[in-house]
Amino acid sequence: MPNLRALAAELGEAKVKLDLADRVLHRYDAITEGKIPLAVVYPETTKEVVRVVRFAREAGLPLFVRGAASGLSGGAVPTEEGIVLATNRMTRLEIDPKARLARAQVGVVTAWVSERAKPFGLYYPPDPASFKMSTIGGNLAENAGGPQCFKKGVTGDYVVAAQVVDAEGRVHEIPGRAAHDVLGLLVGSEGTLVVFTEVTLRLEPLPRHTRTLAAFFERVEDAAAAAFEAIRWGAMPAKLEFLDQGCIRAVEAAFGYGLDTGAGAMLLVDTDGDDEALVEEELELVADAFAAHGARIQRARDAAEADRLWQARRAVSPALGRIKPYKLNEDIAVPRSKLVEVVHKIRDLGEAFGFPLVQFGHIGDGNLHPNILYGPGDDVARVHELAHAIARVALEAGGVITGEHGVGLLKRAFLAEAVDEATLEAFRALKRAFDPAGLLNPGKLLP
Ligand SMILES: Cc1cc2nc3c(=O)[nH]c(=O)nc-3n(C[C@H](O)[C@H](O)[C@H](O)COP(=O)(O)OP(=O)(O)OC[C@H]3O[C@@H](n4cnc5c(N)ncnc54)[C@H](O)[C@@H]3O)c2cc1C
């Protein structure tokens, strides 16, 4: 038995939790339950991360890195008895306004970066809907996206440099530009190749003006066609979000934001920029394109109304919890031209399997989140069968099995259908090169 008490004595008992309650709490992410870990360790510095990695390596224990555990693919849950390395106390954050950079330890919560940058007229664009809880480390490991990513890009587009600890416990300072794009390789590696410890992030000037509108459509196909039309006409909205009727009704039933429950679908749009007239003009262009597809348009009159509309969007996940206690949040991305066909196929699958299913997503990127809702009496194996069928619909449409939530545990089995055997073997070789002993996040990502 590895001497975890010795590790606790060395790092301090406040940083190494061995009691059952703490360990049980760290077996979950947002929707998945894993094994109870042997210990939960809260390092505060890179040096302490190195110590934990070396300890795990010497003891032959697997290591599961965990940020806020808001992940939706089971990425952070232990698959075997091992150590959970929780980054929540790695929260140092410095803003360099002149260089427009932030240097963050990985336990920094995503929203803090923009909050701290705001007094300097700067912000950090990647905005997963979970941004008030997710950590920068989790965002890097999943290459998280969000509503703004259609125009502004995903997490990886903002990582300038990173410090990582490898599976041997060595520290690497990885620059953004080197002989190889190592950072590009590590971002999105889901805790399976290295432990991120610190990161330098690019900040952007805050746009001076933002305008918001909500549009309600009779049918999903009208909303999808309208979104394509607006883009074809030259609009590049800062945010472009889709909600189906099930989402609209769930949000209204739970919180009553005044959305049109008779609508078959809703689009929520922000335009932004420094030139107010251009921002208005772009919103008008979007409104015209939507009106051409029969939309009823609601322009936000002020920032408070815009905020309320975005609150309604963020309320989707909590609202779904009122319908059924559990949900499996699928995450696919398909070519925009295939979106209508895919939405219909998935709706039909939900009906065929007999589960309530709603769909929303970042429609500009073709990123869709079909959510399967279920309860304690339901057959979980059937829920996963339905998720697999949804992934197949994405692949048949020329899409991918994950848009932003990662493969993790949930989609491991689907990966073999998503990439060819030679590529899969290259992924395995990569894993062996970075982590020969299979210490980091075993049982994830690779089938
Ligand atoms: C309501 C809700 C809305 C969401 N909306 C979005 C969205 O719009 N866009 C989106 O992309 N995601 C979204 N997510 C999913 C999730 O929030 C993101 O995947 C997020 O990036 C996870 O961050 P985390 O800190 O919670 O990571 P965790 O869940 O703790 O971990 C996720 C993965 O990252 C690894 N990891 C964590 N920290 C490190 C590190 N320092 N080094 C190496 N590996 C690490 C873990 O091992 C695990 O594999 C949403 C989730 C919820 C619950």
Q: Is the CB of 320 under 6 A from ligand 1?
A: no
**What would the two tokens of residue 59 be?**
């003891």
Q: Which atom of ligand 1 is nearest to the CA of 66?
A: 30
Q: Is the CB of 66 under 6 A from ligand 1?
A: yes
Q: Give residue-wise pLDDT tens across range 75-122.
A: 999 999 999 999 999 999 999 999 999 999 999 999 999 999 999 999
**28 C-alpha to center of ligand 1: Å?**
12
Domain total of the chain: 4
Same-domain pairing of 306 and 349: no
Same-domain pairing of 305 and 368: no
Give the DSSP H/E element, type plus range, for residue 271: strand 265-273
The pLDDT-based confidence of 386 (bands split at 50, 70, 90) is: very high
pLDDT at 179: 74
- Which residues constitute the domain of residue 109? 99-205
Q: Are 367 and 403 in contact (CB under 8 A)?
A: yes
3-state class of 171 per DSSP? Answer: strand
Same-domain pairing of 121 and 75: no
Question: What are the distances in angstroms from CA 374 to CA 227, 352, 358, 380, 429?
Answer: 31, 15, 12, 8, 38
The answer as to whether 180 is a domain residue is yes
pLDDT at 337: 87
Same-domain pairing of 140 and 128: yes
Task: Give dist(CA 153, CA 146) in Å, integer.
Answer: 9
Same-domain pairing of 353 and 334: yes
Task: Give dist(CA 326, CA 150) in Å, integer.
Answer: 29
**138 C-alpha to center of ligand 1: Å?**
4
The answer as to whether 42 is a domain residue is yes
CATH number, domain containing residue 188: 3.30.465.10
Please give the mean pLDDT across all residues of the chain.
96
Identity (one letter) of the amino acid at 169? G
The answer as to whether 310 is a domain residue is yes
Q: Is the CB of 188 under 6 A from ligand 1?
A: no
Q: Are 332 and 116 in contact (CB under 8 A)?
A: no
**303-314 and 316-323 helices, crossing angle to 10°:** 40
**69 C-alpha to center of ligand 1: Å?**
6
Q: Give residue-wise pLDDT tens across range 244-261.
A: 999 999 999 999 999 999
Same-domain pairing of 340 and 394: yes
**289 C-alpha to center of ligand 1: Å?**
35
The answer as to whether 139 is a domain residue is yes
Same-domain pairing of 362 and 412: yes
Q: Give residue-wise pLDDT tens across range 149-208.
A: 999 999 999 999 999 999 999 999 999 877 789 999 999 999 999 999 999 999 999 999
Identity (one letter) of the amino acid at 351? E
Place of tokens 């934001």: 257
**369 C-alpha to center of ligand 1: Å?**
15
Q: Give residue-wise pLDDT tens across range 326-352.
A: 999 999 999 988 998 999 999 999 999
Q: Which atom of ligand 1 is nearest to the CA of 408?
A: 49
The answer as to whether 304 is a domain residue is yes
Q: What is the pTM of this model?
A: 0.95
Alpha helices in 208-244 (DSSP H): 220-232
The answer as to whether 434 is a domain residue is no
The answer as to whether 134 is a domain residue is yes
**What would the two tokens of residue 397 be?**
């449409």
Nearest C-alpha to atom 13 of ligand 1 is from which residue?
128
The pLDDT-based confidence of 415 (bands split at 50, 70, 90) is: very high
Place of tokens 């075993």: 442
Q: Is the CB of 68 under 6 A from ligand 1?
A: yes
Alpha helices in 72-181 (DSSP H): 110-117, 136-142, 149-152
196 contact partners, CB below 8 Å, separation of at least 6: 106, 137, 140, 141, 162, 163, 164, 186
Task: Give dist(CA 258, CA 47) in Å, integer.
Answer: 51
pLDDT at 365: 87
pLDDT for 214 beyond 80: yes
**136 C-alpha to center of ligand 1: Å?**
9
pLDDT for 297 beyond 80: yes
Q: Is the CB of 69 under 6 A from ligand 1?
A: yes
Same-domain pairing of 201 and 256: no
The pLDDT-based confidence of 28 (bands split at 50, 70, 90) is: very high
CATH number, domain containing residue 217: 3.30.70.3450
What is the bridge-based pairing of β-strands 357-362 and 367-374?
Answer: antiparallel
pLDDT at 177: 77
The answer as to whether 91 is a domain residue is no
Cβ neighbours of 288 (radius 10 Å): 15
Mean pLDDT of 53-80: 97
The pLDDT-based confidence of 389 (bands split at 50, 70, 90) is: very high
pLDDT at 2: 82
